Amino acid sequence: MQTIWVIYDQLWTGNSAFSGYTAGTSRVLMIESDASFRKLPLHRIKLAFFISAMRHFAEELEAAGWQVDYHRHGDTKDYQSAIRSHVEKFRPSSIRVLAPNDYALQQAIPALEKKCGVPIESVPTNQFLLSREDFAKWAGSGKSLRMENHYRAMRKSLRILMTRDGEPEGDTWNFDAENRGTVKDWEAAGTPRPSPAPEIRRDEITERVIFEVNDAFPKHPGDANNLWLPTTRGEALTWLRHFVEHRLGLFGPFEDLMIEREPLLFHSVLSPMLNIGLLTPMECVDAAVAALRSETPPPLRSVEGFVRQIIGWREFVNGVYWLRMPEYHAVNALAAEIPLPDWLWEGTPPMHCMEMAVTQVRDTGYNHHIQRLMVLGNYFLLTGCRPQEVLDWYSAMYVDAHDWVMAANVLGMVLYADGGFMASKPYAAGAAYISKMSDYCNGCRYKPNVKTGPEACPFHSLYWAFYDRHQTRFAKNPRVAVMIGSWKKRTLDEQNEIRNTAAAWIATHHPN
Ligand code: SF4
């Protein structure tokens, strides 16, 4: 009998490792690797989400007649010990697994084969729409890659939102410029509120997992009791349908907005399920495009924005990951060496925008993309935090974070640590952006338009000090050269005051 090894983030029977195998002729191996769960202090909601989803999937397989050899984290040190025990007990002729999404696990397979005494066949992943090889072919040997070019190529090859003449629907590839609704726009629209996602069912499996996670990982952040995500495919599909029917329409216009009392706004929050296999990328895209063809369609700009997140960003960051690992993990083009502030883990962040994002992620394991990029990420970029520490923090805290998704997002997009390989400019912003795109500044001890003195928003000095530090690198970048020019026009006294204020902030909040 052969074995199919199902990794924690590959939980669907359309997984190619199942292809050609049946319940009668093969057995499934599933492993909750305690060592993997402890590599980083993973948020307890994330752990409960992974483990509950795994156990539900195992239950579904058993109900469909599969024999499942399931190894729980309390009894399982790591993948090697679990595979070895499986081999000793069942003597499979081989083990088949979908190519791991994680580089380190993929690299570990030859050693696992040797130490466990069984051939392990890794089959190409079908969890993405573009293979690693095809992405590499598309990327060629260019010194930089742009998501927008990749996205257009994907639209064309998959024929999504394309006219019969091969043109993008709506005569434009991307509606980003229209999809930047501000707080004022939201107020002008009557402050629309999202319809909350359907509540998840707390069955015995989930209750048991919550207890175990809180008991076994007491030092990890978060509280597993607050698990709020679907852990079965059925529930995930309900969430997808609900999003398309009730929130997709306003997703586009307000996708960059941040409202204190509505942290999720119109975001789909499907990425956690998508990234562990409870949903597939194409069914999410198909659902949104089908809505566009319905009698009461959402606006094209909303559908396009959602489709771009999946066939654009998701595929792109995965492609960059496999193209650039393992050296990508060590990039630090801006020589950023400042440690993370302690208040990321405990205590209250001193700035209200940071407090909102950090409190939300501690409570739920989730922030939407602008909170991640333009509040937290912006702060880490401007202060010059060490890229690998930032990557670890994002990877530990977010329920949808996996190494393949976070490496390029954090190192490339958020921190510009790859020197512009995947972003044409650093995503640096001052207080004006946060003030326009959120209602956070209302509750802050600082004022976004105050530049000096105790009420001055820290983003002001941090922003200009960033361009001061990196003026040589960015002077010739057409997208930011104007900022360098503006910095150089300031008087020496102004420049020194900004430098000193930024340095004092970093010394106070980022002690070594
Ligand atoms: Fe953030 Fe500055 Fe606004 Fe405070 S004033 S919330 S620190 S942007």
449 alpha carbon to ligand 1 midpoint, in Å? 9
Ligand 1 atom with the smallest distance to the CA of 351 is 7
Long-range contacts of 186-195 (CB under 8 A, 24+ apart): 186/254, 186/257, 186/259, 189/253, 192/250, 192/254, 193/262, 194/246, 194/247, 194/250, 194/262, 194/264, 194/265, 194/266, 195/242, 195/246, 195/247
% of residues, the chain, pLDDT over 70: 100
Whose CA is closest to atom 1 on ligand 1? Answer: 353
447 alpha carbon to ligand 1 midpoint, in Å? 6
Is there an atom of ligand 1 within 6 Å of 53 CB?
Answer: no
Considering only the top CATH level, what class is 342-509? mainly alpha
Which of 258, 260, 376, 435 to probe ligand 1 with, by most ligand atoms within 8 A of CB? 435
> What mean pLDDT do residues 474-486 have?
91
> What mean pLDDT do residues 477-506 have?
95
* pLDDT tens by residue, 39-53: 999 999 999 999 999
pTM greater than the 0.85 cutoff: yes
464 alpha carbon to ligand 1 midpoint, in Å? 15
Which of 343, 374, 434, 501 to probe ligand 1 with, by most ligand atoms within 8 A of CB? 434
Q: What is the rounded distance in angstroms from the CA atom of residue 351 to the CA atom of residue 435?
A: 13
pLDDT band with cut points at 50, 70 and 90 for residue 296: very high
* 512: pLDDT strictly greater than 90: no
> What mean pLDDT do residues 184-193 have?
97
pLDDT at 88: 96
pLDDT at 17: 97
Ligand 1 atom with the smallest distance to the CA of 447 is 5
Q: What is the rounded distance in angstroms from the CA atom of residue 221 to the CA atom of residue 210?
A: 14
pLDDT band with cut points at 50, 70 and 90 for residue 74: confident
> What mean pLDDT do residues 103-119 have?
96
- Asked if 398 and 361 touch (Cβ cutoff 8 Å), the reply is yes
Whose CA is closest to atom 8 on ligand 1? Answer: 431
Of 262, 286, 269, which Cα lies nearest the Cα of 198?
269
User: Residues with Cβ < 8 Å from 466, sequence gap 6 or more?
Assistant: 381, 382, 384, 426, 428
What the block records as the tokens of 261 is 């009392």
> What mean pLDDT do residues 201-214 have?
96
Taking CA atoms, 436 is separated from 18, 186, 194, 256, in Å, by 49, 11, 20, 10
- Asked if 436 and 456 touch (Cβ cutoff 8 Å), the reply is no
Q: What is the rounded distance in angstroms from the CA atom of residue 259 to the CA atom of residue 233?
A: 30
* 56: pLDDT strictly greater than 90: yes
471 alpha carbon to ligand 1 midpoint, in Å? 25
Is there an atom of ligand 1 within 6 Å of 434 CB?
Answer: yes
pLDDT at 132: 97
> What mean pLDDT do residues 171-195 have?
95
- Asked if 297 and 291 touch (Cβ cutoff 8 Å), the reply is yes
* 76: pLDDT strictly greater than 90: no
Q: What is the rounded distance in angstroms from the CA atom of residue 480 to the CA atom of residue 48?
A: 43
pLDDT at 430: 94
User: Residues with Cβ < 8 Å from 170, sequence gap 6 or more?
Assistant: 161, 300, 301, 304
Q: Which range has the worst mean pLDDT, 119-123, 328-332, 478-482?
A: 478-482
pLDDT at 30: 98
360 alpha carbon to ligand 1 midpoint, in Å? 16
pLDDT at 307: 98
* 356: pLDDT strictly greater than 90: yes
pLDDT band with cut points at 50, 70 and 90 for residue 335: very high
352 alpha carbon to ligand 1 midpoint, in Å? 6
Is there an atom of ligand 1 within 6 Å of 446 CB?
Answer: yes
pLDDT at 253: 95
> What mean pLDDT do residues 363-373 have?
97
* 511: pLDDT strictly greater than 90: no
Strand, helix or coil for residue 337: coil
> What mean pLDDT do residues 330-358 have?
96
Is there an atom of ligand 1 within 6 Å of 459 CB?
Answer: yes
Of 500, 501, 498, 476, which Cα lies nearest the Cα of 487?
498
Which of 441, 449, 505 to probe ligand 1 with, by most ligand atoms within 8 A of CB? 441
Q: Is the peptide bond before 387 cis (omega within 30 degrees of 0)?
A: no
* 1: pLDDT strictly greater than 90: no
> What mean pLDDT do residues 385-413 have?
98
Whose CA is closest to atom 2 on ligand 1? Answer: 457
Q: Starting at the earlier edge strand, list the strands of the sheet with 95-98.
A: 67-71, 26-31, 2-6, 95-98, 120-123
- Asked if 69 and 26 touch (Cβ cutoff 8 Å), the reply is no
pLDDT at 463: 97
Give the H or E element holding residue 116. Answer: helix 103-116
Is there an atom of ligand 1 within 6 Å of 451 CB?
Answer: no
Residue 512 has a CB neighbour count (10 Å cut-off) of: 6
Is there an atom of ligand 1 within 6 Å of 441 CB?
Answer: yes
> What mean pLDDT do residues 327-355 have?
96
Q: Give the domain ranges of the chain.
A: 2-123, 132-194+247-324, 342-509
Place of tokens 């700009």: 301
* pLDDT tens by residue, 420-448: 999 999 999 999 999 999 999 999 999 99
Q: What is the rounded distance in angstroms from the CA atom of residue 406 to the CA atom of residue 317?
A: 8
CATH number attached to the domain at 2-123? 3.40.50.620
Q: Which amino acid is at 37?
A: F
Whose CA is closest to atom 7 on ligand 1? Answer: 351
Ligand 1 atom with the smallest distance to the CA of 431 is 8
**What is the residue-averaged pLDDT of the chain?**
96
What fold characterizes domain 132-194+247-324?
1.25.40
pLDDT at 172: 95
* 142: pLDDT strictly greater than 90: no
* 24: pLDDT strictly greater than 90: no
% of residues, the chain, pLDDT over 90: 95
